[in-house]
Amino acid sequence: MKRQMKVVFLILVFLILAAAARAGDSLDPLIAPELASLEALYKHLHANPELSHQEKATAERLSAELQQAGYAVTRGIGGHGFVALMKTGPGPTVLLRTDLDALPVVEKTGLPYASKARASSGQGAETGVMHACGHDVHMACFTGAARVLAKLRDRWKGALVMIGQPAEERGTGAVAMLKDGLFTRFPRPDYALALHTDAALEAGKIGYREGFVMANVDTVDLAVRGVGGHGAYPHATRDPVVIAAQIILALQTIVSREVRPIDAAVVTVGSIHGGSKHNIIPDQVDLQLTVRSYSEQTREQILAAIRRISTGVARAAGVPPGREPEMKVASDEFTPATYNDPALVKRLLPVWKQLLGEAQVVERDPEMGGEDFSRYGREDPRIPIFLFRVGTVAPERVAEARGGGRPLPSLHSALYGPAIHPTLATGVKAMVAAALELLGK
């Protein structure tokens, strides 16, 4: 009897240890051998960034990495996008996304692998290029996760759809891939996941949020038209410079006085151009705006208010009929708000907390930035999506900034340089564990 009890006890201990291993301890021996090559891949990608719609070499490098890991790769989806597919039998389909593109930013980090790349911005001007939004981290973690999940193919049943998406920074890449048959030519996902760097979270941590996490993004061009003339005779003109200035100030009342205080919204005039010489009043001044919101109702309210205010100010200034401001909303660059499926978030949090530790999985505030990853959930509302964060900043630097010291560079800053370790290992581990949880055992 005692011997039987001892055997039962040992079996229970074995099962408990096996469960712990399945929860994540067993991932470390699989991830550790990959870290040196993932660091080299990260540094290569960081030093060789490509702008939106120009990601040819980046896509080729990543698709080759996944092909080498055993995935069936289809290139040229929605431009330079690619799909890497692995099936192990009947079961759920999980989509994991990385973005590929960089930003028109001249890097100032001083890192030995800093980007010195230059490229045409698309408007004919040459610009510096930098992975200032962490897409190089995304790609390295994505590649590491693909390798580990391929090694663990006997541990899951279903389909992995690993996609490299172009043009996230322009908000057009997801739409292009969907129009090119992402959900018809390849298995339609039951779940869609993506990670994004966090420039204010300690490396080694994962950030999450249920519900709205990123905003609607609208790009608005406003042509303020007037009647030009000599700067010495302003009475004979209808000065669009003055009208534009009044419009800019009046637009600030939309969020403060028209949108409900509990609804998040932003109206920012990021660019103003007009005139050619000191003593010439121009015919036109061009404004470029970014508008952020969460709900569709708030979005429509803000856009209508911009049109109403700009027209009203111009008419009050005596602009002739037919010369009112012309407003264009760039529909091809609209990015809908990102909504993390609450049930999916709740399912994955215990997995990560057991894997990384309770204190390493933290709730983050919603943001007014935009992400076209939202498109995959909008295309089919039955597909739950989850965009989570991976910390990239050395803990001591976060503590210094919170204590009133040097501020942390934000995403899109020329000074943003992620801590490579443990960022890459954390991102790979979180992505692999999430995929294993969702795929059939």
Active site residues: 101, 168
**Contacts (Cβ under 8 Å, ≥6 apart) of 204:** 356, 360, 391, 395, 422, 423, 426
Tell me the one-letter amino acid at 217: V
Classify burial at 411, counting beta carbons within 10 Å of its beta carbon; exposed 0-12, middle 13-18, buried 19 or more. middle
Phi, psi of 213 (to 5 degrees): -125, -30
Number of H-type helices and E-type strands within the chain: 12, 18
A 10 A CB-CB count for 68 gives 13
97 token code pair: 């996304």
Helix (H) or strand (E) holding 20: helix 2-20
What tokens were used for 119? 């490229």
Place of tokens 């976060």: 398
DSSP codes, 190-247: SEEEEEEEEEEEETT-EEE-SEEEE-EEEEEEEEEE-B-EETT-GGGSB-HHHHHHHH
- Tokens standing for residue 299: 């979005």
Do 98 and 164 contact (CB within 8 A), yes or no? yes
Closest by Cα among 108, 110, 105, 166 to 130: 105
DSSP 302: H
Q: Six-digit token pair at 371?
A: 């992400």
Q: What span, in angstroms and rounded, lies between the C-alpha atoms of 46 and 43?
A: 5
Q: Which residue has the tokens 């999430």?
A: 434
Tokens 């991976």 belong to 390
